[in-house]
């Protein structure tokens, strides 16, 4: 099990990006959360088997139809909390 913090920039707010991430994470059985950031980006914390989390990162580059992703930066974190679901945070 791995945990990554992922920051996504581009046109990712107001286009359904958080709900897209939640949907993809649930399909991959990845837990964690997603929220908008004050600088116009999106932050994701994803926890699960490494192949599933890496696949989620690939999906972040795609995004929903109205999005335009410019960058996806990720860093592995030491898991200090175990998530049981994937939620949209506000």
8 neighbors 44 (Cβ within 8 angstroms): yes
48 neighbors 31 (Cβ within 8 angstroms): yes
Predicted pLDDT of residue 80? 86
Catalytic residues: 18, 36
Predicted pLDDT of residue 79? 86
Predicted pLDDT of residue 67? 98
Q: What are the phi and psi torsion angles at 64 (to 5°)?
A: -75, 170
73 neighbors 81 (Cβ within 8 angstroms): no
pLDDT tens readout for residues 51-85: 999 999 999 999 999 999 999 999 999 988 999 99
Query: E strands of the chain, at which residues?
Result: 2-11, 31-36, 42-48, 68-77, 86-88
Q: Report the pLDDT averaged over residues 7-35.
A: 98
């Amino acid at each position: 099990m791995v945990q990554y913090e992922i920051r996504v920039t581009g046109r990712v707010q107001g286009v359904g990006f958080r709900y897209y991430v939640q949907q993809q994470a649930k399909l991959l059985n990845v837990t964690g959360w997603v929220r908008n950031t004050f600088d116009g980006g999106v932050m994701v914390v994803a926890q699960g088997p490494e192949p599933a989390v890496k696949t989620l990162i690939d999906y972040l580059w795609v995004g929903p139809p109205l999005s335009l992703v410019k960058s996806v930066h990720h860093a592995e974190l030491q898991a200090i909390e175990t998530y049981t679901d994937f939620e949209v945070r506000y």
